[in-house]
Structure 1
Amino acid sequence: MQLADRLLPLQANVFADMDQAKARAIATGQTLIDLSLGSSDLPTPPHVLDAIAAALIDTATHGYALFHSTQPFRLAAARWFERKYGIAVAPETEVLPLIGSQEGTAHLPLAVLNPGDFALLMDPGYPSHAGGVYLAGGQIYPMPLLAARGYLPVLEAIPAAVLAQARMMVLSYPHNPTAAVAPLAFFEQAVAFCKAHDLVLVHDFPYVDLIFSPGHAPSVLQADRQRQVSIEFFTLSKSYNMGGFRVGYAIGNARLIQALKQVKATVDFNQYRGILRGAIAALEGPQDCVDTMVETFCSRRDAAVQALHQMGWAVELPPATMYVWARLPEPWAADSVRFCTELVEHTGVALSPGRGFGKSGEGYVRLALVHPPAVLTAAVQKIAAFVASRK
């Protein structure tokens, strides 16, 4: 049996290797403290669950959910965005429901790229961004993100030959894995750059609410108010702890929304309408649950960073997201996969190796703050003991 060549770039998966290492740790009796996955451990707000539960007995929700039936959700998403950013968008032509934002970022390259076209991706960056490009037959130009530049790409460093063949740029701030936040001025620069080079500007925005300073994380649509080149992806997985419900949406340029809608219509319908009713309740209901979520992750961040500093690990205080991005000490800096594999097998503490996020991620690990402060502190103590034992 022969399989498609497009699967070849998807075969190497650092996170699959880590799953095997976690399984070995459990098999040897280790108690697993899993800080490798950015899956919130917080509960979905009760008013969201109530809306979904009430929909279960409504037989009108039991059929296929075609685009027209998603209008109430699209209206809610448009209203939410206007309340947050003061920008009105058209729910019929500029908003599209998604089965999680990852569905959108993975499918959009099919609508934008022809085989051989380049996509400009962040390095390090979220792995599924690359997967969507490979499935579309595209090429990837990695834009290195360095601490010295605030983890922002240097757009002027992209070679002219690549730009001549490029069709899209993907950004995502607040950033996974580095937790960096981009200023609005950078988005304005990126929009101007994409206009000048006829690029689609994609902004993956799952951590829109998970920022620890006053104010809002900037939206790329603040820099592209007419939606000339941009599309932005949102999810309810982080802000409302709805990861398992798989609900997100895109807002942006009407042509891009229509193109993504065409791809989506070939692959699936939409979620169960009861889930969309829950999503409406999340977007339009009380937002104190979001404030509580942010406060919870902020306290976890503080506990984890304090513990890391006490062990002598000079990590920066993350301004956003649910992650700590930590540079590995010697002699581990050249092999983050080896460090993470041996750490989980000897201590039960699982981290994400930086190499899994791209070449520029090597030498780092990512800690997901998905446990209470006491557990995070205990995990860091185990890490400290492991590092000390290997000196």
Structure 2
Amino acid sequence: METQKGQRLIQPADRMNGLPTQFFAKLVAKANAQTAKGRDVINLGQGNPDQPTPPHIVAKLQEAAANPLYHKYPPFSGYPFLKEAVAKRYKEDYNVDIDPSSEVAILFGGKTGLVEISQCLLNPGDVCLVPDPGYPDYWSGVALAGAEMSFMPLTETNRYLPDYDAISPEIAMRAKLMFMNYPNNPTGAVADAQFYAKTVNYAMKHSIAVASDFAYGAIGFDGNKPVSFLQTPGAKEVGVEFYTLSKTYNMAGWRVGFAIGNAQIVKLINLIQDHYYCSLFGGIQEAAALALTGPQQCVADLKAVYESRREALFGALDKIGWKASRPGGSFFCWLPVPPGYTSETFADILLQEADVVVAPGVGFGMHGEGFVRLGLLTGEARLQEAVQRIGKLNLF
């Protein structure tokens, strides 16, 4: 009786029922079930960096944690020294001038900002342009805002870039926000300056705000440095870029990210965060500032590790006949499934029969069907072993 009464009393808000399913929670559950059986599972399905944070950054946090100043509430929008560090990094890396006082918002990780921007800019009935395949948490923010999504197909024939000419005039008129992400998760594709110029022109023409997810901005291969959206003339007039320390400095658990660019959007993000948070622990902010302004050899070394792993993986893939294009950036590889399988049935086969976890492409959108995503987030020998296990299934 009490249970039934409790169920009647606690009724979730409609917005909770409208949230998309957390696809990766299901993926993790499947992997954990195999591990619980004592199986030696090689998990290539998640995007969790496997290397430790560089020692000089850790040492700075250890030192800063003892500072009594940081034991008090920090400024609501963060310490100015961290915003200045962000501006310095963007100037040095991309020759982009950033006003730290008005064009930087400090985030509890990049994901937080990617959800918040929809809540800042979208009303019920508004349309958000979303890449397909794309990072599923874009969908979460749109759902919380009560807005609608219109998916932009990313296809191999178009280098996994959206085709703005294919967007209907009706959708373009209703759209208020657009997400894009290069280097891309899940495809590993990269974008060039010409694409960003088209994006700015399209956004200006249709009064659409742009959210550039630059989480993998430090990871480019074959001697190519990924381009920042903010390097494009007019970019700051139409949007912001989201940057995170998670991938660049192996600081995923530290939860430090930034929204950079359009001052009006930055102000809105700071406003909504005033109602959610009281900024990051000051010691973490000081360590993050050192990461951005200190020696950057650790970033170059990390990129070299991922590139070496990429070559080891694709060398092994060639031996079993699994043909795919090498990613131009990020630490993800986008591989086609063999004939006769969906992305989910193929991923299930690999888990059950080879103890290898990959992410089914359909989890990133309907245009992800036919592919799986692998992460370069374990050592070369382990990557090669995973491919050898898959090869024994004779699927290629």
Scaled to the shorter chain, the TM-score interval is over 0.9
In the other structure, the counterpart of 2:132 is 123
What is the distance in 2 between the residues matched to 1:215 and 1:299?
A: 15
- Residue 336 (1) aligns with residue 340 (2): no
- Residue 83 (1) aligns with residue 74 (2): no
- Residue 9 of structure 1 deviates from its aligned partner by 3.9
- Give the letter for the 1:361 counterpart: G
- Residue 263 (1) aligns with residue 272 (2): yes
In the other structure, the counterpart of 2:318 is 309
- Give the letter for the 1:10 counterpart: L
What is the distance in 2 between the residues matched to 1:227 and 1:367?
A: 33
In the other structure, the counterpart of 1:373 is 380
What is the distance in 2 between the residues matched to 1:265 and 1:339?
A: 45
What is the distance in 2 between the residues matched to 1:321 and 1:68?
A: 29
In the other structure, the counterpart of 1:190 is 199
**Residue of structure 1 aligned with 2:170, choices 154, 161, 172:** 161
- Give the letter for the 1:317 counterpart: R
Secondary structure at the aligned position of 1:93 is classed as coil
Listed as ranges, the gaps of 5+ residues in structure 2 are 1-9
Secondary structure at the aligned position of 2:59 is classed as helix
Give the TM-score of the pair, scaled to structure 1. 0.96
- Residue 37 (1) aligns with residue 46 (2): yes
- Residue 225 of structure 1 deviates from its aligned partner by 4.5
CA contact 2:229–2:235 (8 Å) conserved in 1: no
**Residue of structure 1 aligned with 2:389, choices 355, 363, 382:** 382
Aligned residues, how many? 387
- Residue 59 (1) aligns with residue 59 (2): no
CA contact 2:188–2:329 (8 Å) conserved in 1: yes
* 1:27-86 Cα shifts (integer Å, max 9, x gaps): 332111110111111111111011100011111111111246510000000111011111
The 5-angstrom pairing of residues 260-299 of structure 1 reads: 260-299=269-308
What is the distance in 2 between the residues matched to 1:199 and 1:181?
A: 22
Secondary structure at the aligned position of 1:325 is classed as strand
What is the distance in 2 between the residues matched to 1:36 and 1:110?
A: 29
- Residue 233 (1) aligns with residue 242 (2): yes
- Residue 226 of structure 1 deviates from its aligned partner by 6.2
In the other structure, the counterpart of 1:346 is 353
1:88–1:339: structure 2 CA closer, same or farther, 3 Å change rule? same
CA contact 1:14–1:337 (8 Å) conserved in 2: no
**Residue of structure 2 aligned with 1:244, choices 247, 253, 266:** 253
What is the distance in 2 between the residues matched to 1:382 and 1:23?
A: 19
1:9–1:380: structure 2 CA closer, same or farther, 3 Å change rule? farther
Secondary structure at the aligned position of 2:221 is classed as coil
What is the distance in 1 between the residues matched to 2:171 and 2:263?
A: 27
Secondary structure at the aligned position of 1:162 is classed as helix
Secondary structure at the aligned position of 2:258 is classed as strand
- Residue 378 of structure 1 deviates from its aligned partner by 0.1
What is the distance in 2 between the residues matched to 1:185 and 1:278?
A: 36
What is the distance in 1 between the residues matched to 2:77 and 2:130?
A: 33
What is the distance in 2 between the residues matched to 1:306 and 1:9?
A: 43
Which has the larger displacement, 357-366 or 344-353? 344-353
Secondary structure at the aligned position of 2:84 is classed as helix
- Residue 184 of structure 1 deviates from its aligned partner by 0.6
In the other structure, the counterpart of 1:134 is 143
- Give the letter for the 1:273 counterpart: G
What is the distance in 1 between the residues matched to 2:93 and 2:36?
A: 48
In the other structure, the counterpart of 2:112 is 103
Which has the larger displacement, 28-37 or 341-350? 341-350
CA contact 1:220–1:230 (8 Å) conserved in 2: no
- Residue 215 of structure 1 deviates from its aligned partner by 4.5
CA contact 2:77–2:105 (8 Å) conserved in 1: no
What is the distance in 2 between the residues matched to 1:57 and 1:137?
A: 44
Secondary structure at the aligned position of 1:2 is classed as coil
- Give the letter for the 2:39 counterpart: Q
- Residue 2 of structure 1 deviates from its aligned partner by 2.0
In the other structure, the counterpart of 2:4 is none
**Residue of structure 1 aligned with 2:333, choices 324, 335, 341:** 324
Which has the larger displacement, 189-198 or 266-275? 266-275
In the other structure, the counterpart of 2:368 is 361
- Residue 115 of structure 1 deviates from its aligned partner by 0.7
- Give the letter for the 1:287 counterpart: Q
Secondary structure at the aligned position of 1:114 is classed as coil
Q: CA RMSD, aligned part only?
A: 1.4
- Residue 11 of structure 1 deviates from its aligned partner by 4.8
What is the distance in 2 between the residues matched to 1:225 and 1:50?
A: 39
What is the distance in 1 between the residues matched to 2:108 and 2:383?
A: 31
Which has the larger displacement, 122-131 or 343-352? 343-352
What is the distance in 2 between the residues matched to 1:381 and 1:15?
A: 25
CA contact 1:106–1:132 (8 Å) conserved in 2: yes
What is the distance in 2 between the residues matched to 1:228 and 1:137?
A: 26
- Residue 222 (1) aligns with residue 222 (2): no
1:55–1:169: structure 2 CA closer, same or farther, 3 Å change rule? same
- Give the letter for the 2:191 counterpart: A
Which has the larger displacement, 220-229 or 54-63? 220-229
- Residue 46 (1) aligns with residue 46 (2): no
What is the distance in 2 between the residues matched to 1:226 and 1:341?
A: 42
